[in-house]
């Protein structure tokens, strides 16, 4: 059953009588995946419960909505999502009557805006507006993070990012780097044999010494490419989701982005 049809079934079973409060009386906001949930939690008041539809450690591109998740979407006061990034959620949003906030700017084809702190601050402000919350402290944190990236990546021996999938385009553009991706915008797509041969040639020509894998998907292609060109493999996190272990250890968007900066500085030979 398609998610939109499941939404209608849930509505029918419940008699179409929904509130927008959690069991403890708080308002409920649903976010499609981790960075949006983090933003909502940072700007919302104590009377708001934020529900992240993507479970910890799961890849958000492939989100499938359970009956409970559909009910969460239907009941929420606000749904925060990136249009086109999670098709199942798009279907559910289309079938609901409540407020929904698509934070993908019109005409933007690369959804990975949260990896550019400056662009992400604009999303945070939009989420705060949708919740009547305050974005000031979070925007300041993002400005500080942007400054750390600018200083940290100013002088580097290499400026080429060889990535598993094309998630780091906005980050590369912001800090004068070049992204060379092994696949497209989905982390599970893989290059064919001819495309891989061309990639090997391009990576060799670039002089890159590191191929970046990701924590939530297989590093098989990254390892293959690294062997062919004599490069190392390092992990660069696109922050599409954090594992339960990392969340319990206190890792969040800001600390994960700072860890990424350390990884980039080491791999690119920054001073």
70 and 39 in one domain? yes
Question: Does 17 share its domain with 124?
Answer: yes
Give the model's pLDDT for residue 193: 79
Full domain range(s) for residue 225: 156-268
Judge if 19 and 136 occupy the same domain.
yes
Interstrand relation of 178-181 and 99-102 (parallel, antiparallel or unpaired): unpaired
258 belongs to a structural domain: yes
Same domain, 85 and 208: no
Name residues of the chain where pLDDT drops below 50: 1-20, 185
Which pLDDT does position 188 carry in this prediction?
55
- C-alpha to C-alpha distance for 166 and 183, rounded to whole angstroms: 6
pLDDT at position 21: 54
Q: Same structural domain for residues 60 and 97?
A: yes
Are 189 and 239 in a shared domain? yes
Same domain, 84 and 113: yes
CA atoms of 182 and 144, how far apart (whole Å): 31
Q: Cα separation of 78 and 63, whole Å?
A: 19
Are 117 and 186 part of one and the same domain? no
Q: What is the pLDDT of residue 7?
A: 41
Q: What is the CATH number of the domain that holds 172?
A: 3.40.50.1980
Secondary structure (DSSP) of 243-259: -HHHHHTT--HHHHHHH
Both structure tokens of 14: 């419940």
Residues near 162 by beta carbon (within 8 Å), at least 6 away in sequence: 180, 181, 182, 203, 206, 208, 210, 211, 212, 225, 231
Spacing of C-alpha 254 from chain mean position: 13
- The number of distinct structural domains making up the chain is 2
C-alpha 126/C-alpha 60 separation (Å) is 21
Domain identity same for 67 and 11: yes
Q: What is the β-pairing status of strands 210-213 and 160-163?
A: parallel
Q: Are 214 and 187 in contact (CB under 8 A)?
A: yes
Tokens 């949260």 correspond to what residue? 114
DSSP label at residue 26? -
Do 225 and 172 sit in the same domain of this protein?
Answer: yes
> Does residue 119 share a domain with residue 176?
no
Q: Which spans in the chain are helix H?
A: 3-13, 34-43, 67-75, 87-94, 117-131, 136-152, 169-174, 193-206, 220-229, 244-248, 253-268
pLDDT of residue 189: 60
Is 257:145 a contact under the CB 8 Å cutoff? yes
Query: Of 47, 30, 201, nearest to 127 (Cα)?
Result: 30
Structure token pair of residue 269 = 């030979």
Angle in degrees, 0-180, between the axes of helices 193-206 and 220-229, rounded to the nearest 10: 50
Asked if residue 136 and residue 7 are part of one domain, the reply reads yes
């Amino acid at each position: 059953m398609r998610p939109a049809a499941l939404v209608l079934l849930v509505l029918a079973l419940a008699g179409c009588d929904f509130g927008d409060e959690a069991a403890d009386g708080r308002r409920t906001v649903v976010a499609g995946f981790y960075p949006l949930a983090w933003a909502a939690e940072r700007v919302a008041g104590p009377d708001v419960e934020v529900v992240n539809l993507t479970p910890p450690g799961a890849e958000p591109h492939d989100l499938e909505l359970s009956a409970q998740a559909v009910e969460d979407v239907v009941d929420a006061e606000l749904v925060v999502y990136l249009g086109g990034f999670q098709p199942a959620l798009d279907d559910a949003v289309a079938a609901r009557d409540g407020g929904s906030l698509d934070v993908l700017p019109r005409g933007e084809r690369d959804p990975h805006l949260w990896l550019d702190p400056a662009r992400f601050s604009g999303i945070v402000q939009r989420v705060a507006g949708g919740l009547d919350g305050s974005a000031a402290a979070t925007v300041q944190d993002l400005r500080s993070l942007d400054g750390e990236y600018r200083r940290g990546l100013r002088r580097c021996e290499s400026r080429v990012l060889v990535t598993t999938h094309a998630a780091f385009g906005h980050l590369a553009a912001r800090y004068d780097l070049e992204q060379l991706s092994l696949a497209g915008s989905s982390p599970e797509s893989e290059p064919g044999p001819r495309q891989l041969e061309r990639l090997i040639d391009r990576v060799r020509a670039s002089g890159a010494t590191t191929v970046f894998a990701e924590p939530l998907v297989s590093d098989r292609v990254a390892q293959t490419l690294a062997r062919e060109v004599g490069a190392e493999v390092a992990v660069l996190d696109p922050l599409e989701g954090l594992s339960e272990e990392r969340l319990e250890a206190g890792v969040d968007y800001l600390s994960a982005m700072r860890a990424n900066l350390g990884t980039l500085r080491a791999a690119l030979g920054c001073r």
